[in-house]
């Protein structure tokens, strides 16, 4: 059975503006779920959620379980690099968003899609693993950490190509993933990415040695999410 979700590609947007937009959609879905209560609604009529794709200007975000010590520059230095900083309500530690990075915010009702949170994160990772495979690269998971990695088991060579951090309430998700396509990796030098001090960060551009077609990468990611989550994506 396919689960219908709205797809919104909102282009380049400020992080706070997008966070507020996410929250608005999230709150509406929570409100619907509360009002539906124990009513027997056929699965095909349940709203499964919304998938947002966006590209952010330079910004660092710190999850609720993270340490501000992992931000290695002060606010004056952030401003000098045209970057902003937000403490937010997702899991995970600190990460960077910026131009050339595909950021996906699936606001999904996991009850409607009929999966748990652990499986949800696994499927997000799988979508990126399969996307990277389309470029001839082998990616996988890291034991003890979320996200998608290249060479995760090779000491000194492990590097993350996609960060994942989510929040869930009433089994409805927020936040999501950040996949480095043509991302400027220099900005990761000013943090301990996801709290790690002994692992690197990479991008499709770095791995393949040339700038990649951003829109093509976005389309592949969308298709992989559609397949793996068994979605019917509706453009609105």
b/e burial code for range 137-166 (CB count within 10 A of at least 16 → b): eebebbeebbbbbbbbeeeeebbbbbbbbb
Ramachandran assignment for 99, one of left (phi > 0), alpha (psi -120 to 50 degrees), beta (any other): beta
Tokens of 92: 């995970």
- List, in sequence order, every residue forming a beta bridge with 72; answer none if it has no partner: none
Q: DSSP 3-state assignment of 84?
A: strand
Per 3-state DSSP, what percentage of the chain is helix, strand, and coil (rounded to 5)?
Answer: 35, 30, 30
Tokens of 78: 């952030």
Which candidate, 215, 228, 170, places its Cα nearest to that of 5?
228
Tokens of 112: 């409607």
In degrees rounded to 5, what are phi and psi of residue 47?
-70, 120
Cβ contacts of 160 within 8 Å, gap of 6 or more: 142, 147, 148, 149, 193, 194, 196, 199, 200, 201, 202
Active-site annotation holder among 48, 112, 121, 194: 194
Would residue 194 show up in a list of annotated catalytic residues for this protein?
A: yes
Q: DSSP 3-state assignment of 207?
A: helix
Positions annotated as catalytic residues are 194
């Amino acid at each position: 059975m396919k689960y219908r979700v709205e797809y919104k590609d909102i282009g380049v947007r400020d992080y706070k503006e997008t966070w507020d937009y996410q929250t608005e959609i999230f709150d509406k879905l929570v409100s619907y779920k509360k009002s539906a209560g124990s009513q027997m609604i056929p699965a095909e009529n349940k709203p499964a959620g919304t998938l947002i794709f966006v590209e952010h200007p330079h910004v660092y975000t710190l999850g609720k379980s993270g340490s501000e010590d992992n931000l290695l520059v002060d606010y004056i230095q952030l401003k000098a690099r045209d970057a902003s900083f937000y403490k937010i309500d997702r899991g995970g530690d600190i990460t960077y968003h910026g131009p050339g990075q595909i950021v996906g915010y699936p606001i999904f009702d996991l009850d409607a899609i009929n999966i748990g949170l652990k499986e949800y994160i696994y499927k997000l990772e799988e979508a990126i693993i399969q996307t990277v495979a389309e470029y001839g690269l082998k990616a996988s998971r890291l034991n003890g950490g979320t996200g998608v990695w290249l060479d995760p088991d090779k000491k000194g060579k492990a590097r993350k190509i996609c960060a994942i951090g989510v929040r869930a309430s009433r089994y409805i998700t927020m936040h999501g993933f950040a996949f480095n396509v043509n991302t400027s990796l220099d900005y990761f030098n000013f943090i301990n990415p996801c709290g790690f001090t002994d692992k690197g960060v990479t991008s499709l551009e770095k791995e393949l040695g040339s700038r990649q077609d951003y829109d093509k990468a976005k389309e592949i990611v969308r298709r992989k999410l559609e397949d793996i989550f068994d979605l019917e994506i509706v453009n609105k």
